[in-house]
């Protein structure tokens, strides 16, 4: 069953692109390596400003972002992304336990 699910994911994601925005080197690298097994294009950025610059240059089907990052936090970056594309699919990954960040993300329409 797990193998079937992996095969389904590979088929669905084969033509999709992902932008990962994560300031922790190890997490950024591990996410990229894992997602490259499924997605056609996987790009990475290490802070909100770099992530926003990548987003403004290219189209991404999904943006995966941390919240607490230097230069521009994930919430600020995601607000700017949603202003440009209100339908952008966004996934947040964070160790932050600040509920106000989660509320902000939900109000912005973050997908997961």
83: CB partners within 8 A, 6+ apart: none
The string of pLDDT tens digits covering residues 41-83 is 999 999 999 999 999 999 999 999 998 898 999 889 999 999 9
- Give the chain's domains with CATH numbers: 2-108 (3.40.50.2300)
Model pTM above 0.85? no
57: CB partners within 8 A, 6+ apart: none
More confident residue, 2 or 20: 20
Q: How confident is the model at residue 84 (pLDDT cuts 50, 70, 90)?
A: very high
- pLDDT at residue 89 is higher than 70: yes
On average, the pLDDT of the chain sits at: 86
């Amino acid at each position: 069953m797990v193998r079937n699910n992996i095969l389904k994911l590979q088929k669905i994601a084969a033509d999709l692109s992902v932008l990962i925005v994560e300031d922790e080197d190890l997490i950024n690298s591990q996410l990229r390596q894992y997602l490259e097994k499924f997605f056609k294009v996987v790009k990475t950025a290490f802070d909100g400003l770099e992530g926003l610059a990548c987003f403004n240059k290219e189209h991404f089907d999904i943006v995966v972002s941390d919240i607490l990052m230097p230069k521009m936090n994930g919430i600020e970056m995601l607000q700017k992304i949603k202003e440009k594309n209100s339908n952008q699919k966004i996934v947040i990954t964070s160790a932050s336990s600040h509920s106000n960040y989660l509320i902000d993300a939900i109000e912005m329409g973050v997908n997961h």
